[in-house]
């Protein structure tokens, strides 16, 4: 909680308004699981609901599975398919999870220990790769089902930055992570255009970098 207050204080000092979206690592940071922006053209969500058990690559997958099965007990038929229900159950399953690592420990020994744990569970790398390959399509399908007006789906969660256009009419964007090796992405939009930038670190400060992709925000009218 102290770290969350530090994050909120930082943004309060630098921006007029900040909205935090909760996810599996910070389910208590806000009550907001998603945002619909630009009159519904942009659907922004953390992305953990794209997976039945939140994070299939986690070494605590069995615990997530146990919690979610317990929370789904007695749900009426079809209730699990409702977006509100998936958000509620995913958030409840992630409250006070087992700690996978110490987020404050950046020592070489700690990093080596994490690598050893990863290699000791060969299912984890395979699950990560599977998530990288399949989540853009899952995101587009869920947008079509739950937010049909959305053309852009923006999420994080899998730490794999990218812009996927093959699922049109949906364009799927993952903002990546500040953890190496690939780094994060920044999305900004105005009345007419949505842009994706790399985030670069210069002199110890993170700043917008090279433009990655640019799209008209509204569908372009066909030529007469």
DSSP-assigned states of every residue in 39-108: TTTEEEE-SGGGSTTS-TTSTTHHHHHHHHHHHHTTPPTTGGGSHHHHHHHHHHHHSSPPP-S-TT---H
User: What angle is formed at CA 106 by the lines to CA 104 and CA 111, rounded to 5 degrees?
Assistant: 120
Q: Are 154 and 139 in contact (CB under 8 A)?
A: no
Residue 99 confidence class, pLDDT cut points 50, 70, 90: low
What are the angstrom distances between the C-alpha of 166 and each of 149, 176, 215?
18, 19, 14
Average per-residue pLDDT for the chain: 90
Flag whether pLDDT at 96 surpasses 90.
no
Residue 100 confidence class, pLDDT cut points 50, 70, 90: low
Regarding predicted confidence, which is higher, 213 or 112?
Answer: 213
Alpha-carbon distance of 45 to 139, in angstroms, equals 10
pLDDT at 108: 79
Flag whether pLDDT at 184 surpasses 80.
yes
Alpha-carbon distance of 149 to 202, in angstroms, equals 38
- Cis status, amide bond into 133, omega within 30 of 0: no
Alpha-carbon distance of 207 to 224, in angstroms, equals 42
172: tokens are: 């799927």
Kindly report which listed range (36-50, 84-98, 190-204) carries the lowest average pLDDT score.
84-98
pLDDT more than 90, % of the chain: 68
Q: Are 200 and 186 in contact (CB under 8 A)?
A: no
pTM of the model: 0.87
């Amino acid at each position: 909680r102290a770290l969350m207050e530090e994050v909120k204080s930082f943004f309060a000092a630098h921006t007029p308004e900040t909205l935090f979206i909760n996810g599996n690592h910070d389910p208590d940071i806000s009550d907001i699981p998603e945002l619909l922006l630009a009159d519904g053209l942009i659907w922004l969500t953390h992305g953990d609901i794209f997976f039945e058990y939140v994070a299939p690559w986690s070494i605590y997958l069995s615990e997530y599975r146990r919690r979610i099965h317990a929370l789904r007990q007695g749900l009426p038929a079809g209730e699990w398919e409702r977006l509100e229900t998936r958000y509620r159950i995913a958030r409840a399953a992630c409250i006070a999870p087992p700690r996978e690592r110490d987020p404050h420990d950046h020592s070489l020994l700690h990093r080596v220990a994490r690598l050893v744990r990863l290699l000791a569970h060969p299912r984890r790398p395979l699950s990560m790769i599977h998530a990288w390959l399949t989540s853009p399509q899952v995101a587009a399908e869920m947008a079509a089902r739950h937010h049909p007006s959305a053309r852009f789906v923006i999420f994080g969660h899998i730490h794999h930055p990218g812009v996927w256009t093959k699922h049109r009419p949906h364009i799927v964007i993952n903002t990546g992570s500040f953890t190496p090796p690939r780094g994060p992405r920044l999305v900004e939009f105005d009345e007419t255009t949505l842009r994706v930038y790399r985030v670069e670190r210069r002199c110890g400060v993170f700043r917008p970098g090279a433009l990655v992709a640019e799209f008209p925000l509204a569908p372009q009218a066909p030529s007469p």
